[in-house]
Amino acid sequence: MFSGMKLRPIDWLFVAALICGASYYAEHWLQLDSPLATIWKGSGVSLLALWAFARGRPWIGLVLAFGALGDMLLDAVGLEVGAVAFLIGHVLALGFFWRSRRAHWFVPVLGAAAVSLASYLLAGGSGVALYGFGLGAMAGAALVSRFQIATVGLGALLFVVSDLLIFAVIGPMADSPIPGLLIWPTYFAGQALIAWGVVTEMAREGVHDRV
């Protein structure tokens, strides 16, 4: 990711985010169940958001901020409240990617329908289907945006995988250890790739952001 690139001082925020996010994987085994663990969980994406704001990219920074809020609300309050924060982030991201789409408006629509159906089949419930609709639309828009598929597109797909694994835990994989091992790394890698891809591409293009 950093190959052939000299980091600015502010980019060490991104490095710190990677350290915090990667280290949280240990919580899968530690099971601390404390306010400090909740803060630890939210620290990685919070730093990604702070880095995006510091680099002058407030829209994607706001998307990441709602992701960090969702991370912490999932632990502190519960799945439903945390999902609302994530859904707001997905809607903001959809708007961001939609305005920079290259073509193929139907891809976000197909993504929304496919992920919504998969979410419903895994966990059931209209709320899950609605969330899946927003998630799939965001991912589809990311794939057809001007941003690179290898970073932003892949990041959005990893986000989808992570959430479908969460729904699988609610449904058919309730007794499997596999989702627990994969949910966090796919989620955080997805967020980091989206953040890096958007911020660096916009900097390369010299594009000014606005919310």
The overall average pLDDT reported for the chain is 93
How far is Cα 17 from Cα 148, in angstroms, rounded to an integer? 21
Residue type, 140: G
Nearest to 211 by CA among 52, 42, 11, 10: 52
pTM of the model: 0.92
Tokens in use for 123?
């966990």
Is residue 209's pLDDT more than 80? no
How far is Cα 89 from Cα 67, in angstroms, rounded to an integer? 6
What integer pLDDT is reported at residue 4 of this predicted model? 46
Tell me the per-residue pLDDT of 44-62, one tens digit each, with 9 for 90 and over: 999 999 999 999 999 999 9
Is residue 186's pLDDT more than 90? yes
Tell me the per-residue pLDDT of 97-145, one tens digit each, with 9 for 90 and over: 999 888 777 899 999 999 999 999 999 999 999 999 999 999 999 999 9
Tell me the per-residue pLDDT of 165-184, one tens digit each, with 9 for 90 and over: 999 999 999 999 999 999 99
Residue 154 belongs to what H/E stretch? helix 154-170
What integer pLDDT is reported at residue 208 of this predicted model? 66
Tell me the per-residue pLDDT of 70-94, one tens digit each, with 9 for 90 and over: 999 999 999 999 999 999 999 999 9
